[in-house]
Amino acid sequence: MEHRTTLAKSDLHDVLREMLLIRRFEEKVEERFRAGELPGFLHVAIGQEASAVGVCRALEDGDVIASTHRAHGHTLAKGTHPNELMAELYGKQEGCSHGYGGSMHLFDVERGNMGANAVVGGGLPLVTGAALAFQMRGEPRVAVAFFGDGATNIGTFHEALNLAQLWTVPAVFVLEDNKWAESTPESQHSPIRDLSLRAKAFGMKGLKADGQDVEAVYKAARQALDHARSGKGPVFLHLDCVRFRGHYIGDPQVYRDKDEARRLAETRDPITRLREKLQLGDDEFADLDTEVTEIVEASVEFAKAGTDPAPEDALKNIYA
């Protein structure tokens, strides 16, 4: 595979398609949840598609990711088929975690997805450890962690990044800074406004990008991955992101100015942005939309037609 540092023009259409697929997928998830079809706690990343797609596109085969409670986008971007993801949300055996995980525990080990994590910060030491394994075995692989601004306050974050830098393991820590931790705005959860400072406390290389611009994300991720892969140590990749929706599906967002989300959706939608850049006409976009919407619809069909686990299956997979 040719080593690129920026997204090729020829890829951009594909990238748009992927982001739109994630968007429509999550909108469908919202709809199905509201219809009472989906159990569990669900968090959509609507508005944050550029981060998932930009970073995952930049990965090489063999690289791995770990995600958070807001994991649908990462999971799709890392290559899990929408059918398998939707089936998981429906709790089916055909799901990517075979019905054991759910929205906050999406795994696809074969495709390098080490798993979503419902404990904020919980996946970060795992990424340090995976990167350590790559380093010890001399494999040119990188382990990538996604996490939010809220996660930068938890001890796990500090310990994991500190260790990664101390051992110069090939890891990239991707901060999706959407300025909210549930209902808590950044000003109420962090004493500093520039979260990049967090990485300086460990002497870690930091990079910054507009998380709503998929090209910028890709470019920065590529740089970060190259740095990590070349043995120079981990990188802290700070993405400036926007959460268009509530924290969880159904969140009435009493704590948030109603206009804020609308304004942000109008001005900082990564899909709109790329669409404008590609000068995609309405028809073309509609075609694309139809195409991905069909995939999403099919995934719901697939999921609904899936197999419920037997109750006793709950006693499997506890031990190897």
Partner 1 sequence: MPELTYREAVRDALSTAMRQDEDVFIMGEDIAEMGGSMGVTAGMLDEFGKERVRNTPISEMALAGAAIGAAMQGMRPVAEIMYEDFLTLAAEQVVNQAAKLRYMSGGQLTVPVTFRTQGGAGWSPGAQHAQQLEAWFVHIPGLKVVFASTPEDVRGLLWSAIYDDNPVVFFEHRTLYPIKGDVPQEIEPIPIGRARVHREGEDVTVIATGRLLHESLKAAEQAEGDGISVEVVDPRTLQPLDEETLVSSVKKTNRAVVAHEAVTRMGFGAEVAAVLQYQAFDWLDAPIERVGAKFAPLPFAPVMEQFVVPHAEEVLAAIKRTVGKA
Q: Where are the beta strands (DSSP E) in the chain?
A: 64-66, 143-148, 171-177, 180-181, 184-185, 205-210, 235-240
Query: Which 151-190 positions form the footprint of Mg ion (CB under 5 A)?
Result: 178, 180
Number of residues in contact with a second copy, rule: CB under 8 A? 22
245 DSSP 8-state letter: S
Q: Which does 311 bind (CB under 5 to 8 A by kind): Mg ion, ligand TPP, partner 1, none?
A: partner 1
Q: Which secondary-structure segment (H or E) carries 299?
A: helix 282-304
Distance (Å, rounded) from C-alpha 85 to C-alpha 25? 10
The one of Mg ion, ligand TPP, partner 1, none whose footprint includes residue 70, by CB under 5 to 8 A per kind, is ligand TPP
Q: Which two tokens stand for residue 13?
A: 């259409």
178 binds, among partner 1, ligand TPP, a second copy, none (CB under 5 to 8 A by kind): ligand TPP
Q: Which stretch binds Mg ion (CB under 5 A): 131-139, 141-149, 195-203, 290-298?
A: 141-149
> Positive or negative, the Cα torsion across 265, 270, 271, 274?
positive
Q: How many angstroms separate the CA atoms of 231 and 185, rounded? A: 36
119 binds ligand TPP (CB under 6 A): yes
> Which residue, 46 or 204, is less far from a second copy as judged by CB?
204
Q: 92 by DSSP, 3-state: which?
A: coil
E strand residue ranges, 100-154: 143-148
Rounded distance between C-alpha atoms, residue 41 and residue 29, angstroms = 12
Residue among 159 and 226 whose Cβ is closer to ligand TPP:
159
Interface positions, 139-178, toward a second copy (CB under 8 A): 153-159, 162, 165-166
- 151 lies in the site for ligand TPP, by CB under 6 A: yes
Q: For binding to ligand TPP (CB under 6 A), which residues are involved?
A: 69-70, 118-120, 147-151, 154, 178, 180-182, 243, 247
Q: For binding to a second copy (CB under 8 A), which residues are involved?
A: 153-159, 162, 165-166, 188-192, 197-198, 200-204
Q: For binding to Mg ion (CB under 5 A), which residues are involved?
A: 148-150, 178, 180
